[in-house]
Homo-oligomer: A and B are copies of this chain.
């Protein structure tokens, strides 16, 4: 929904909506904005603490939930269910996830419209949202696998 490339964008949107721009929220937003992999709440907590040591894990959960609700972050679901968060930086995009290094790449536009229309027509469903995630191995890890393992 909202396109945020950095924490300034988040700041403005939060303010606009009447939320306060607090140190804990800043710390979480910066961590997410600076990461190019997905992070569990626990990992966000660990990193954000370097900026704001008294940050509690609970606030991380709350902030991540808030950012997800506002469209700044997306939950990342893996096959085994446990999930993390990554910053949502594009209008409408989906994730490409490296299963080795957890890098997350967002890619725009998804050409799913014809498929969605066909399924809707065949089933009678009104389709409201969709979730698409691609899982694979990034170029760096492809190279690394040959060496390490």
Please indicate the chain B residues that have their CB under 8 angstroms from the CB of A125 in the complex.
Answer: 96, 98, 105, 134, 136-139
Judged by a CB distance under 8 angstroms, whether A110 is at the interface is: yes
Interface size on A, residues (CB 8 A): 37
Tell me whether A133 and B134 are in contact in the complex, defined as CB-CB below 8 angstroms, given that A77-B77, A83-B81 are known contacts. Answer: no
Stoichiometry, as copies per complex, reads: 2
Judged by a CB distance under 8 angstroms, whether A132 is at the interface is: yes
A: which residues have CB within 8 A of B?
75, 77, 79-81, 83, 96, 98-99, 105, 107, 110-111, 114-116, 119-120, 122-139, 142
| Residue in contact with A129 in the complex, picked from B107, B110, B115, B135, CB distance below 8 Å | B135
The reply to whether A99 and B123 form a contact with Cβ atoms under 8 Å apart is no
The reply to whether B131 and A135 form a contact with Cβ atoms under 8 Å apart is yes
What is the CB-to-nearest-CB distance from A138 to chain B, in angstroms, rounded to a whole number? Answer: 5
Closest to A142 in B: B126
What is the CB-to-nearest-CB distance from A10 to chain B, in angstroms, rounded to a whole number? Answer: 20
What is the CB-to-nearest-CB distance from A88 to chain B, in angstroms, rounded to a whole number? Answer: 13
The reply to whether B132 and A126 form a contact with Cβ atoms under 8 Å apart is no
The reply to whether A75 and B79 form a contact with Cβ atoms under 8 Å apart is yes
